Amino acid sequence: MSDNRAIWALGAMSGTSLDGVDAAMVLTDGHRVLEFGETGYRAYSDAERAILRAALGRWSGSEVEEAAEVVENAHAELLSGFDGAELIGFHGQTTSHRPEVGATCQVGNGTLLAEVLGRRVVWDFRTTDMTLGGQGAPLAPFYHYALARYLGFEKPVVFLNIGGVANLTWVDPSKPGPEVVGACLAFDTGPGNAKIDDLLMARRGVRMDEDGRLTRAGVVDGDILERLLAKEAFFNRMPPKSLDRDDFRGWGDAVAQLSDADAVATLAAATAGAVARGLEHCPSLPEHVLVTGGGRKNPGLMEMLEALAPSPVLPVEEVGLDGDMLEAQAFAFLAVRVLRGLPTSAPGTTGVAAPVGGGQVSRPGALTAVLRSG
């Protein structure tokens, strides 16, 4: 694409919470966010979620193949209902992420989706970054920078995403671009909702702590909390840094003898404590900590964050954003950047050696051409 006009892009995200697929339209030129458009959500069924869980921690094999089919079908079903998008950003579903060995796996074939949907699909966003020494995550920071400028912030602000894993982006919107030194610092802080979700699925067969009721009802075990936050070397590592959903396996074992409510409250306190440790790495005090992702819907967790953070903690809705769709919007934005040869990560966001653009572009007809040539 040779012009720099703004286009409508459609982004899709299936996160580590395994709840479903989010989709959102954004009008962007790859630098600025100009307008937000239609959004949609397609939940995974219990059977689909079980297939995805079975693939976690795996790189290949029948479990991964079955998970890929679930992801592709769910995305095709949801995205086919959108009109007007010139481009689709498709993240896929992460089954394994091991940045220490330069390996990541997001299942779902963008070329197949391009064929089914009849539109260009940008996908495989992480591989190039990791090939060049980056962590491959988090990937939303450049979008966070664009949002900070869209909102008119002039001082540094933090975007905190609490999904299955929690990650933050410290943004200085006064810098001229997200790839500029000092514009963004981003990293995973520790577990988000995943440890709570896994505990409740194992004990009660439910997916989450609905409305944070158990978090608020439970009593935090201070001794266990102290051990959880003291023993993990990850917290002391300088960012950028990233995690796999199944890292910190010992957290579940540590609360095994507690009641459901006390275990959930203690895990939530550990998530909040890890975020507080992460905020200590920020270059300067942020004006706000803006929370997105499912964790912002847990009032108990939000109260814990407010008690620990050095800046006001707000759900992103308080500044006019949609916390359910922000990650999907990010991949719409990143897709346009990939198409236009713009970087999607930088040393401050993933630790890659220099600003780099990730992703590959699949066009309708490419799969048919390959099949014919074969």
pLDDT in tens, 244-294: 888 898 999 999 999 999 999 999 999 999 999 999 999 999 999 999 999
Residue 81 CB neighbour total at 10 angstroms? 10
Kindly report which listed range (50-54, 207-211, 245-249, 364-368) carries the lowest average pLDDT score.
Answer: 364-368
Cβ within 8 Å of residue 178, ≥6 positions away:
141, 142, 145, 146, 171, 184, 343, 346, 349
What pLDDT digit, counting tens, does each position of 56-79 carry?
999 999 999 999 999 999 999 999
- Write the CATH number of the domain with boundaries 152-319: 3.30.420.40
pLDDT of residue 371: 47
Q: Where are the domains of the chain?
A: 7-137+325-373, 152-319
The reply to whether omega before 299 is within 30° of 0 (cis) is: no
* pLDDT for the residue numbered 246: 82
pLDDT number for residue 361: 97
Instruction: State which of 162-176, 225-239, 353-367 shows the largest mean pLDDT.
Output: 162-176
Q: Which residue has the higher pLDDT, 100 or 278?
A: 278
- Residues 284-305 have pLDDT tens digits of 999 999 999 999 999 999 999 9
User: What would the pLDDT profile of 301-320 be if each residue is shown by its tens digit?
Assistant: 999 999 999 999 999 999 99
Domains 7-137+325-373 and 152-319 share a fold: yes
- What fold characterizes domain 7-137+325-373? Nucleotidyltransferase; domain 5 (3.30.420)
Sequence-ordered list of residues with C-beta below 8 angstroms from that of 61, at least 6 positions apart, any chain: none
The per-residue pLDDT for 16 is 80
Confidence grade of residue 1 (pLDDT, cut at 50, 70, 90): very low
Residues 6 or more apart whose CB falls under 8 angstroms from that of 188 comprise 137, 138, 165, 166, 167, 241, 242, 243
How far is Cα 293 from Cα 17, in angstroms, rounded to an integer? 10
Distance from the Cα of residue 132 to its chain's centroid: 21
Q: Report the mean per-residue pLDDT for the chain.
A: 94
Instruction: Give the per-residue pLDDT at 233.
Output: 86
The predicted pLDDT at position 2 comes to 47
pLDDT digits (tens, 9 = 90+) for 177-215: 999 999 999 999 999 999 999 999 999 999 999 999 999
Task: Say what the pLDDT of residue 369 is.
Answer: 54
